Amino acid sequence: MMHSTRLRKPVADLLTVLPLILLWPTLRHRIESQMLLHMLVEFPVLFAAGWAARDLLLPAAARRFPRTSRVLALLDWGGLTSASVVTCVVMFWMIPAALDATLLVAPVAAAKYLSWWLAGLILAGSWRRMTPELLLFFVGNLSWTSATAGMLYMDTTSRLCANYLTDDQSNTGIGLVLLALVLGALALRQMMRLGATQAAARRITPPVAPAPTKTAR
Amino acid sequence: MPDSISPADSALARRLTIALCAALLTAFVWGLYRYTANFDVWTFEGHRQLAMQAGDLRAPQVPLREMGTTPITLWGSATSPPAAYLVDFIYTRCPSVCRVLGNEYQQMQAQLVAQRARNPALAAVHLVSISFDAEHDDPASLREYAREHQIDPALWTLAMPATAADTQALTRSLEVIAIPDGLGGFVHNGAIHLLDASGRLRGLYEFDQWPQALEAAKQLATVRRDIP
């Protein structure tokens, strides 16, 4: 456990600062000039950075604003708000026009970096608040979104993005479908855990004793 | 991780969260509806068509070098006689699409020659091919391209922008995006651009739609001639 904790902290720190490599224009251009790397490396790295940053930012925020935790809990009951925000972020950046716009319009690129980072940040703090049913629905929905976009990118023979070639588009489609399968497997695992937990709860609950009845002596 | 609220606040949290989610999702769907023009336009090219229809795309009057040497300016000048320009973007090493476009331009040139006597408005239609590959397209390769496609300079101008910044200004203004094809060449969007005398983009056509492009150019030139 100790070893695990030691390992996790440097990994989290590394993930937090990893997006800074995008400040190097050559590398950023290299990543973003390929659709596959843009969608399946850059997006997840930004998301993971936001996720990892939570442990660094939340204690400091809680010290400075003691009511942070309560406000978050009030506005994100059961993780519902976080699930909605992350779903919107994922859906929007699957749109071909939005992907092109990130390469042509600086404020859109900034919105992309910020939105993926924030999505990771808020989900890291809220997924444990979600009920198993909501978590299952949320992950299943992400899987469906990724699969739909992936199949569209795979099947369309014309270029959907002006900045990417059709081969790259097709490879990205395959990658998104594989990602959908991984997410689907996670959702399935969650569903099986949920079923096992409910079954265990039924086994542990003692049978209800019959109410005592008055008997004539 | 327990929520930092008391059970008494749970009902308040539920109400606040549901209201926030409803507002968030409504804003998202409304924003998406606007961004995709009623859930109809999902690609850059679709947005480009909308911008063209709204008259938002206009080529600046950048300095050009005809055949890579002679300075010229086209649209946007008070002295520019044609009223309709059919513009394509090429690079002379292109083995596929640009060659096809060159052939289509040859056919358009032949039609202009054949029909000019009968239709004076066609004098106001001009073909323009602009190279965006300053690294490789020198005057010699442009001359070779002109010879290969039998370009008549009176009808068809082959030029390249004076500087890389001019190339970028021109392609950016018309939202033309050229990307490396991985084989040493380029792939770019859009084929034939119909510009009016001010440089405003009036039509976008694929290379196999050149008869429609020429017809639209004729109509635009006719309208321009009719304006006193």
Please tell me the predicted confidence (pLDDT) of residue B226.
Answer: 52
Greater pLDDT, A1 or B138? B138
Asked if A128 reaches chain B (Cβ–Cβ under 8 Å), the answer is yes
Task: Taking residues B109-133, report their average pLDDT.
Answer: 88
Min CA distance, B115 vs chain A (Å)?
35
**Given CB atoms, is B3 within the 8 Å cutoff of chain A?**
yes
Tell whether A108 is within 8 A of chain B (Cβ). Answer: no
Contacts across the A-B interface (CB distance below 8 Å): 91
**How far is residue A131's CA from residue A114's CA, in Å, rounded to a whole number?**
27
Q: Which of A77, A123, A134 to mutate to test the interface with B (most CBs of B within 10 A)?
A: A77
Tens of pLDDT along B186-196? 888 878 999 99
**Which B positions 36-95 lie with beta carbon below 8 A of chain A?**
36, 41-47
Cβ pair A22, A161 in contact under 8 A: no
Helix (H, G, I), strand (E, B) or coil at B186: strand
pLDDT at site B178: 92
Q: What is the mean pLDDT of residues B82-94?
A: 88
Question: Mind listing the pLDDT tens digit for each residue in B41-52?
Answer: 999 999 999 999
What average pLDDT does range B32-46 have in this prediction?
Answer: 96
Does residue A26 belong to any structural domain of this protein?
yes
Residue A214 lies in a domain: no
Give the nearest partner residue to B1 out of A97, A128, A162, using CB atoms.
A128
Q: Where are the domains of chain B?
A: 7-52, 57-226
Out of B1, B21, B47, closest to residue A129 by CB: B1
Whether A2 is in a domain gets the answer: no
Count of C-beta atoms within a 10 Å radius of residue B90: 24
Distance CA B26, CA A88 (A): 11
Q: Flag if B4 and A33 touch (Cβ within 8 Å).
A: no
Which phi and psi angles does B55 have, rounded to 5°? 75, 25
CB-facing half-sphere around the CA of B13: CA atoms within 13 A = 22
Flag whether A211 is in a domain.
Answer: no
pLDDT at B85: 94
Looking at residue A178, its pLDDT comes to 97
Put simply, the answer to whether A101 touches B44 (Cβ < 8 Å) is yes
Of residues A70, A73, A95, nearest to B42 (C-beta) = A95
Nearest to A47 by CA among A81, A15, A69: A15
Q: For the residues of A101-155, what is the DSSP string, one character each?
A: HHHH-HHHHHHHHHHHHHHHHHHHHHGGGS-HHHHHHHHHHHHHHHHHHHHHHHH
Closest CA to A186 of A147, A144, A140: A140
Average pLDDT, chain B: 88
Q: What is the pLDDT at residue B37?
A: 95
Residue with tokens 């659709």: A35
Per-residue pLDDT of chain A (217 residues; tens, 9 = 90+): 344 445 577 788 888 888 888 888 999 999 999 999 999 999 999 999 999 998 888 888 888 888 888 888 889 999 999 999 999 999 999 999 999 999 999 999 999 999 999 999 999 988 888 888 898 899 999 999 999 999 999 999 999 999 999 999 999 999 999 999 999 998 888 778 777 776 777 676 655 555 555 544 4
| Structural domains in chain A (count) | 1
Task: Give a yes or no: residue A120 inside a domain.
Answer: yes
Q: Is the pLDDT of residue B175 over 50?
A: yes
Q: How large is the average pLDDT for residues B113-127? A: 84
- Name which of A34, A36, A74, A94 to mutate to probe chain B: the one with the most chain B Cβ atoms within 10 A of its Cβ: A74
Residues of B in contact with A95 (CB under 8 A): 35-36, 42
Q: What is the mean pLDDT of residues B142-162?
A: 92
Report the alpha-carbon distance of residue B171 to residue B168 in Å, rounded: 5
pTM, two decimals, is 0.85
Q: Is residue A207 part of a domain?
A: no
- The whole-number pLDDT of residue B228 equals 46
> And the tokens for A60?
């400091």
Q: What is the pLDDT of residue A206?
A: 58
Q: How far is B150 from chain A (nearest CA, A)?
A: 31
Fold category of B57-226 in CATH: Glutaredoxin (3.40.30)
Q: Does A58 touch chain B (CB under 8 A)?
A: no
B50 near B35, Cβ under 8 Å?
Answer: no
Residues making up chain A, counted from first to last: 217
Range of the structural domain that residue A137 is part of:
11-56+74-197
What chain B residue is nearest to A82 in terms of C-alpha separation?
A: B21
A157: tokens are 């023979």
Task: From chain B, pick out residues whose CB is under 8 angstroms from the CB of A85.
Answer: 24
